[in-house]
């Protein structure tokens, strides 16, 4: 379904915290700061935003002071298309 460059999220502490504290089937209104490829974002949207009134807003403020890494990532068409495909979800803004 999704294609990520690295599967960091599944075994992360963040995944465990989300699992322990976010209710399933409740109205969840979530703001995510920093999404990179969107692995955490789509996990939350698919599993914790199942209620029709749930929503997740994802913001990724790239640090533009790092003029090499982020510029290369942003200009990489494969990365950009992967990012868009992960964020093309009805619960994501």
Closest CA to 36 of 89, 77, 79, 91: 79
Q: Are 49 and 40 in contact (CB under 8 A)?
A: no
Q: Which residue shows structure tokens 């009805």?
A: 90
- pLDDT at 83 (0 to 100): 62
- pLDDT of 27 > 80? The answer is yes
What average pLDDT does the structure give for the chain? 78
- pLDDT of 42 > 60? The answer is yes
- pLDDT at 7 (0 to 100): 85
pLDDT category at 21 given cuts 50, 70, 90 is: very high
- Residues in CB range of 52: below 8 A, 6 or more apart: none
- pLDDT of 62 > 80? The answer is no
């Amino acid at each position: 379904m999704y294609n990520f460059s690295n599967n960091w999220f599944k075994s992360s502490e963040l995944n465990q915290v989300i699992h322990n504290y976010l209710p399933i089937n409740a109205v969840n209104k979530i703001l995510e700061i920093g999404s990179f490829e969107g692995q955490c974002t789509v996990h939350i949207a698919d599993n914790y935003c199942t209620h029709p009134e749930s929503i997740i807003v994802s913001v990724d403020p790239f640090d533009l002071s790092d003029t090499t890494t982020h510029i290369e990532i942003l200009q990489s068409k494969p990365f950009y298309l992967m990012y868009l495909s992960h964020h093309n979800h009805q619960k994501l803004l």
